[in-house]
Chain A
Amino acid sequence: MLFAVIPSCNKDLLEVTEQNRLNPDVFWQTADQANSAIIGAYSPLGNQWGWGRMMNLFTTYRSDATNPIPFQGVTTDAANFSIEPTFGRLQETWGELWKTVLRANTILVEVPNIEDPQFSDEQRNQILGEAHYLRAYQYFYLVTLFRNVPLITEPALTLAEIKNGASDPELVWQQIISDLQAAQASLPETWDDANTGRATWGAATGLLGKTHLYRSGLENVNEYALAAAEFKKIIDSGLYQLMPDHADNFGNDKENNVESLFEIQFDDTGLSWGGDIINDLRTAAFEPDLAPPGYTSQSGLLINTWVRDAFLAEQTTDGQIDPRAFNTILWNEPGVMVYLDTFQEAFADNLNAVGCRKYLDFRDGKEQSDFGFAGTPSVINRRIIRYADILLLYAEALNEAEPNSSLALDALNLVRERSKMVPKAASDQATLTQQIRDERVLELMFEGDRYLDLLRWGMIPDVITDELKSNMGGSQYRPGREYLPIPQIEVDTNPLYEQNEGYN
């Protein structure tokens, strides 16, 4: 009964099939797959390590306007320039920026080869255009925030190929320009309702203009005319216009409106920090980082008083406070609310304090800011480029390219006009430059531009003072620290890399 149990030599025993995850060999076959791949490339933009939260720290928090109260080293190190290469939030954000680069690189190699009769040339070109746009978009922030980054345009096929040293920033800029030109050529002007939020011709053109303008500031080249030309394309396209009310740009009800060239979309169904996991948090979780003390689970953000003073320095044509002040800051003014409380209640101990208002979500009787695990998280989309910004950038570029051009002044006044501000009169180039710079504060503060504006204007070392960062014991700025450190994990795992100046 038992004999004859001969040792089995079943050859299949050690062959098991992975059924939990997708094998790349069976992917890249259909139009639908190409579409899901480009969604995957957008994915890092909107999660908590991207614009959902951390990018806010590396842009808005670092400017001369913000003076956060220290919170556990989680959010404030970026703000007072004491950030260490080992800082966890930095490593996470760095990783997210590069994820899009790999995904876009893979799409640009694989999607042209997909043989699917259902895959129209139009759709294929749109996806390739999006890949070019997204790669340029992330490189734009990589080179402006970190400066010394490798230029990688091909997906690594083996582990040996993943390590690359930093490239000359000029090569990175040239790649951004050529990617955006490619994107410009193949992206649609608009998307249908189901696809709102994807990159458009306007998004690519606006970023291309910004790229020329930033290069002119950062790289000591004169590309103002190139920048102005791109902005003019947008103005001339007729696709965009200013919303009637400045406030329309910071609420949940008028998202993806005619003023918006590109914005990060949020929902409120998230469960976990991080990206690439199912139902990761994709709320506007930077809200608690912007909210004032007592209305956030963080320690709270205070705004330097010069911002308030800038708003109060001028009045509207009918003698009122600039309406944009009420959308931008919290200060001791009748009618200013902090969620459900009056300003006087909220800041009883320090009525001279100023808080941030922009992107706070006061709807539905919310009592305070929320990340999204509990309570009511903000889902207000983050505007990356809007038409008012384009007008001001156009004015700035044109004023450099063609000093005393009346078109520059017109663009500035178009923005002011919406908020019933007295139009600026013609003056000289330097005055107009200053007026445009001041206007950017009033129009765009806390939207992520101020720090990078200061950087490209070369003003960081002079502007960032101990007083402006007083809540954190002063500024820890040292030469070189206008750029972020290369995260330690990169330096450690990639021997070809060197740390940025100012962090050794």
Chain B
Amino acid sequence: MKKQDIDTPSIFHSHTNLLLSYTLFIVFFLVSVFSVYAHPLNEKVEKSVLSKYTIAYSKQENTITGTVLDSENRPLAGANIVEKGTTNGTQTDFDGNFSLEVSDLNAALEVSYIGFATKEVPIDGVTSITIVLEESAAGLDEVVVVGYGTQKKGNVSGAVSSIKGDAVNNVVTGNATQALVGKATGVRVEVNGGAPGAGSNIIIRGTGSLSNQDPLYVIDGVFSDNMDFLNPSDIESIEVLKDATASIYGARSGQGVILISTKKGKQNQAMRIDLDGSWGFANPVRQLDIMNASDFIANRQQAYANDGTTPPSNFNDFDSSIDSDIQDASFRSALVQNYGLRISGGGESSTYSISVNRLDQEGIVRASDFERTSLRLNTSAKKGRFNFTQSLFLAQSINRPNIVFGTEYGHLPISPILDTDNDGGYGAANTGVAGNTRSTNYLGIAELTQRENTNYNILGNIAGEYEIIDGLKYKLNLSINYNNGRNFTFIPTYFMSNSDVGLNPIADLDDYRSTFVSTIVENLLTYTKSFGEHNFDLLAGYSEQRDKTETIGVEVENFFSNDTRTINAGSDDVRRAGTLLPRNIRSYFGRLNYDYSGKYLFSASIRRDGSSNFGLNNRFGVFPSVSAGWNISQEAFFDVDFVDNLKIRGSWGKLGSDNLDPFQYVTALNITSQYVLGTGQQRSSGVAQIQFANPDLKWEETTTTNIGIEGSFLSGKISFSVDYFDKLSEDILANLPVNPTSGTNVSIPFNSATLSNNGLEFSLTHRNSVNEFNYSATANISTLNNEVTELGEGVNPITAGGFTDESFNSTRTEEGFAVGYFYGFKTNGVYQNQAEIDADNLTGRAVVPGDLRIVDINNDNIIDSEDRTFLGSPIPDYEYSLNLEADYKGFDIRLFFQGLGGNQIFNGKLFEGIFAQNGAKFEIAKDAWTPDNPSNTIPRATIADPAVNRQTTDLYVESGAYFRLQNVALGYAFPLDIIEKIKLSKLRLFINIENAFTIDDYSGYYPVIGRNISRGNTLFNRGVDENTYPTPRTITMGLQISL
């Protein structure tokens, strides 16, 4: 230790390092808050923005007043005016007026506005000026956030999708991740059904890993693995780094990077108060056709008759007057409410933005709801060469999920839903009644069980920047990401039926908490310099990240009362768990951006990351990238009138993933291999090696290539971009089974697989204004080919996708196919008679007329596991969206259409509907084959099922294609001259409809399936609908007020 201290002259050392980080964080925070509040807002500026007469009042020697207009002579509110070469600037008010005190009346003004070309206007001694801005060609001067900085959109040579905040600000679901569905090409959002607070996974440009890693989210500089907890209306913009541009994030860039910027206060803007509220209802889009009680009984009797077996003696022990519909009883019209307040503004040298938000969302299925409260504080302050920024986000969310809705053995129409005689008050059928083996009541279980998942999130970031010499800046960025999660479950005693899933004689409490703290200390040096037409932008950085996850869990049971629900109130200890998982990362990175006159663009970056998740054999990874672009339209020889801009660009780079839990490379012994011993029959603790370790684990590495062309025509009326990408992901970690003769049967990770993704992305926008009618239309199309090109030496296909409590699987991952494709038997109708069976002459199955006719794929006359084959893929071949927006005299409308195709859904619900051991429940089962009803789709009713009709076949596979009007928003903003009288600057009423209509062929609730999270949120359970929560249609109304 001592030697190291001498060798490394550093003020950052282990503990002191962390302590210092926290101290600096707090100091920065206090300084910036103080700077905002201690520095009184400039009265003059505040008034100049608010009212016209103060312009005259405050007019001074060097004050310029003026108006900023667009080419149609409409005022532009919020345009930025800066005295060139200084940081002195202001913004226009709602009528496009501004006033700015300048140091020199011979200076120039730089006027900029999003979507318009920045204009430089010489003052030439005049004090009143009208400035007309031209709409820019595809916003070439817009600034795009890239890793560790920003870049002009026109100079970007990689594939970056930008999404403006207003596209996600007012989403009904309240979830920023889900709001991205269809918003950017190449970005697929897998939403796990329609539950309030439902999780979702973003897949950028196809699945490049077999683990579960999401893209890296960087929220105002803070790293996160999701953004579900954000308040969507805080978001200013989202940038998706889809290609080698992500490479600057090295080891965590493998699945792409999503950069989120939240709303900041604007300089020289008077305090502004924005209030918004919305209120509405969600309802099921559709219901399933469920059998009534008499049909259900008839189907069961038919099954016994077909099997030639006698029903159990208590078969008829039910009340024949009962005909219950658990589905109907489970659904409701669900209230959704969302309220927000934002206060923002800024003075000469400081800005602030404070927002609070509250979301209350009931689920359309009873016993499910979600609530979130959040607070955000963003401030900035500067003095001379110092610049400070700070952001702090606090959120609490509580999710009360109903995870049992639609599960197997749920309920039979012959049993009462409520039964006040039972402990808990719900009913279900006893074992043997109607021949069922197991029965419970999933509405009852959901209502009785207290399941509460609470999350507290803190995201904080503080940065201090000092400009050492002109163009050379040093920035210290300290950030913290803190999450405290708690999953609490209390299952009270209840009795619904004597089936082993229908009763709970002993109450159980499970309380699991986890704390995640991640701190990053980032040192950045940037240098911006131009030599003539040569423009350089250099970045060098060093960062240290320390993550620590601590978990603690306790389970106790046997409560004297169902009303005492704490750990102390439980009589028996059942289980406790606690873990400590650290992960530390050290990174060095650098980047050069160069352009010649904005014509020739070049960028190169490199990053070296070391992670404690890897052993000494492979601890560090290096991730380089290069990209180049050519703005052809700026060449002298390029002289096409209608083309504003045309750019060709290309990129190549390596991205990494440290897709692994800590300590996977270390062999360890298990201490809970118990055995019962002694006359008292007590558990003794046993120690055993239960798994091997792979000491050679290393990064997953993705090589990505992108070629794109983009341009705009007719003064920005039409803009487009086309990208082709090719991604090869190698050394992909897969948890692979170890041969059990090793003495272990725990799968361990290997860098074994190779995945390939390629596709095309098109985006086309048309925007125009006719008189006061403004409209725009944006169409996006993305295609994707996903293929596992290699699984690894001696590695067997990965089987997953369970859809029932029986041991059937539905997905397979192997070479030559998409990840997690549907795999099973092909059928060719139903055997109508013995002659057909004889003609097929197949062995391996005990078939009789009425059984499914399974195709002998390999033509060996035996139906066995070798006859399973490709049945479909959960991954869409293409996705598309169309966004239409228009406004006219205060009215605005947005129509967002979205669709996809080429994928399938594995409708596992049909198992419950047709084959379940406790009885078929769907109407379609009434069409089961009988000699009198020669159905060619639904096999005969049977309980014994000797031909195993219920196993994985194409009967379950349905088209997953859909087209929907995902969102309609209609609004009306009252005219300014009216609302100004009541001291408002904005009053807008709106109505918002989510999932207005959907066109699809899917027979389940809704074709948005995501992953079958009840069998684990993994890639291999994609598109398997076992009990996916139905996606609702939601209609909300609301208003927005600005003061």
Contacts and interface: CB of A to CB of B under 8 A. Distances in A.
B988 interface: no
Interface string B679-691: 1111111111110
Interface string A85-106: 1111101101100110111011
A250 B671 CA distance: 32
B30 interface: no
Contact of B689 (A89, A102, A265, A368): A102
A391 interface: no
Contacts of A345: 313
A4 B11 contact: yes
14 contacts: A6-B11, A14-B586, A14-B619, A22-B669, A39-B674, A40-B687, A85-B865, A87-B807, A98-B743, A102-B742, A265-B677, A282-B683, A373-B500, A375-B505
Interface in B658-695: 662-663, 666-690, 692, 694
Interface stretch (A119-127, A201-209, A267-275, A423-431): A267-275
A22 B544 contact: no
B991 interface: no
B944 A69 contact: yes
A19 B10 contact: no
A10 B846 contact: no
B95 interface: no
A37 B612 CA distance: 30
Given A8-B11, A70-B946, A375-B500, 4 more contacts: A8-B13, A10-B14, A18-B666, A159-B694
B491 to A, nearest CB: 11
Interface SS, B side:
loop
Contacts of B310: 349-350
A42 B675 contact: yes
B681 A265 contact: yes
A10 B10 contact: yes
A101 B685 contact: no
A198 interface: yes
Interface in A271-324: 271, 275-280, 282, 293-294, 297-299
Contacts of A70: 943-946
A301 B129 CA distance: 95
A488 to B, nearest CB: 8
B580 A19 contact: yes
Contacts of A4: 11
B580 A102 contact: no
Interface residues of A, number: 119
Q: Which of A4, A13, A155, A162 has the most CB of B within 10 A?
A: A13
Interface in A136-167: 149-150, 152, 155-156, 159, 162-164
A16 B612 contact: yes
A6 B8 CA distance: 11
A401 B579 CA distance: 61
Interface in A218-262: 255-256
A489 B676 contact: no
B512 interface: no
A476 B544 CA distance: 63
Contact of B745 (A13, A38, A95): A95
A73 B950 CA distance: 10
Contact of A8 (B12, B662, B670, B671): B12
Contacts of B683: 267, 269, 279, 282
A340 interface: no
B829 to A, nearest CB: 22
A490 B11 contact: no
Contacts of B403: none
A473 B743 contact: no
Given A18-B668, A275-B673, A489 B737 contact: yes
B703 to A, nearest CB: 25
Contact of A266 (B579, B681, B865): B681
A163 B739 contact: yes
Contacts of B669: 21-24, 27
Contacts of A269: 683
Interface in A41-59: 41-46
B431 interface: yes
Interface string B7-20: 01111111001000
Given A46-B676, A162-B741, A73 B807 contact: yes
A121 B702 CA distance: 57
Interface stretch (A435-443, A448-456, A491-499): A491-499
A374 B673 contact: no
Contacts of A11: 4, 8
B542 A297 contact: no
A276 B670 contact: yes
B670 A16 contact: no
A482 interface: no
Nearest to B315: A349
Nearest to B690: A276
Nearest to A470: B308
A39 B684 contact: yes
Q: Which of B544, B684, B688, B864 has the most CB of A within 10 A?
A: B688
A326 interface: no
Contacts of A373: 500
A39 B685 contact: yes
B428 interface: no
A490 B917 contact: no
Interface in B592-624: 610-612, 619
